[in-house]
Structure 1
Amino acid sequence: MIRHMVFFTVKDPADLTAAESGLKRLEEVPETELLHVRRNLRRDQLGNEVDLVVYGEFTDEDKLAAFKAHPLYEEAIALVRPLRDLRIAADVEV
């Protein structure tokens, strides 16, 4: 199983809802076992500036690749890239 995590900040706080809506399109891609797009609760006592988190689970690398090749993935990128400031991604095998 691969866990895919992506952390985003937006350039302008006024664009947070639009960025979240764009990323939520990813939840419609069928190649995921589980995929959530959520706002960061910012409850960590050390703080952080992350606005949005994408968390997904994929059975294997082929499913992750299929997810990234899906048209909705490209659509989400096109919507969110102009709004985002920072994007950090990590994939871990469990």
Structure 2
Amino acid sequence: MIRHMVFFTVKNPADLAAAEAGLKRLEQVSDADVLQVRRNLQRDQLGNEVDLVVYGEFADADKLAAFKDHPLYEEAIALVRPLRDLRIAADVEV
């Protein structure tokens, strides 16, 4: 299984809801076993500037690749890229 995590900050706090809505489109893609888009609770006191978190679980690398090839993935990128400041992604195998 692959866990896929992406952390976002938005350029303008006024765009947070729009960025969240754009990313939530990803929850409709069926290639993930789990896919969640959530606002960061920002409860950690050390360097916690992340606004949004995308968390996904995929059966294997092929499912993750299919997810990234889905048209909704491209739509989400097109909507969110102009609004975001920072994007950090990590994939780990478990």
Unaligned runs of 5+ in 1: none
User: Which residue identity does 2:46 align to in structure 1?
Assistant: L
Identity of aligned residues (%): 85
Query: 1:61 corresponds to which residue?
Result: 61
Instruction: Provide the TM-score with structure 1 as the length reference.
Output: 0.99
Query: 1:24 corresponds to which residue?
Result: 24
Aligned-partner SS, 1:56: strand
Query: 1:75 corresponds to which residue?
Result: 75
Alignment of 1:36-47 (within 5 A): 36-47=36-47
Instruction: Provide the TM-score with structure 2 as the length reference.
Output: 0.99
Query: 1:48 corresponds to which residue?
Result: 48
CA distance in structure 2 between the partners assigned to 1:88 and 1:41 by the alignment:
17
**How many residues align structurally?**
94
Aligned-partner SS, 2:43: coil
Unaligned runs of 5+ in 2: none
Matched, 1:4 2:37: no
- Residue 45 (structure 1) shift: 2.5
Structure 1's consecutive aligned runs of 4 or more residues displaced over 3 angstroms after TM superposition are none
Aligned-partner SS, 2:7: strand
Query: 2:85 corresponds to which residue?
Result: 85
What is the RMSD of the two structures over their aligned residues, measured on CA atoms? 0.5
